[in-house]
Amino acid sequence: MVNFEMPIVSIIMGSRSDLEVMKEAKSIMDDFEIESEMKIISAHRTPEYMFEFASGAKKRGIKVIIAGAGGSAHLPGMTASMTSLPVIGVPIMTKSLKGMDSLLSIVQMPFGIPVATVAINGSKNAAILAIRILALEDGKLAKKLNSFMEAQRKSVLEERL
């Protein structure tokens, strides 16, 4: 199906090696029928592209940015510094420090430039958080979100021992 709609959520990541984790966020966006885009943008390998993307995202109609990065993981914070859009950071699991490096780099943003940080490899929750933000001004989406939460509630109650 050809998609003529403009994306309102941008899912960015520092490397192709982050894709396996970050595509789970895309899949949730698709389930909720939210137009989204995915881009590989490296803060240290393509800083000019990061600037171009972050400074132009709002004008293009993007409402929330989900940014995944691993290691010293500066992509979410640097992106947040160049836009007033909400940025949700996804710390990617790493081999050497098991993602603690990514987590601390992303979560410890100094005052003034926040990045809402989810769990290590928590791209699915990043998507749900983005949906919660979008649902504030979209009644149809708010209903879908409520149904999603209700389905979770029911599944736990049905499994109760």
Residue numbers at the binding site for ligand RP5 (CB under 6 A)? 13-15, 17-18, 42, 69-71, 92
Q: How far is the CB of 139 from ligand RP5 (least distance, A)?
A: 36
Instruction: Give the C-alpha distances (Å, rounded to integers) separating 76 from 4, 33, 113, 117, 156.
Output: 28, 24, 10, 9, 34
- Compare residues 70 and 77 and give the one whose CB is closer to ligand RP5: 70
Q: Which is nearer to ligand RP5, 115 or 131 (CB)?
A: 115
CB of 10 to ligand RP5, least distance (A): 15
Between the alpha carbon of residue 61 and those of residues 93, 103, 113, the distances in Å are 30, 28, 21
Q: How far is the CB of 112 from ligand RP5 (least distance, A)?
A: 24
Helix (H) or strand (E) holding 9: strand 9-13
Residue 7 or 14 with smaller CB distance to ligand RP5:
14
Distance between CA atoms of 51 and 48, rounded to whole angstroms?
A: 5
Q: Closest separation between CB of residue 49 and ligand RP5, Å?
A: 13
If the CB atoms of residues 18 and 24 are measured against ligand RP5, the closer one turns out to be 18
Taking the complex as a whole, how short is the minimal distance between the CB of residue 46 and ligand RP5, in angstroms? 10
Q: Collapse the DSSP code of 143 into the 3-class scheme (helix H, G, I; strand E, B; otherwise coil) and give the result.
A: helix
37 phi and psi angles, rounded to 5 deg:
-130, 155
Residue number with CB closer to ligand RP5 (47 or 114): 47
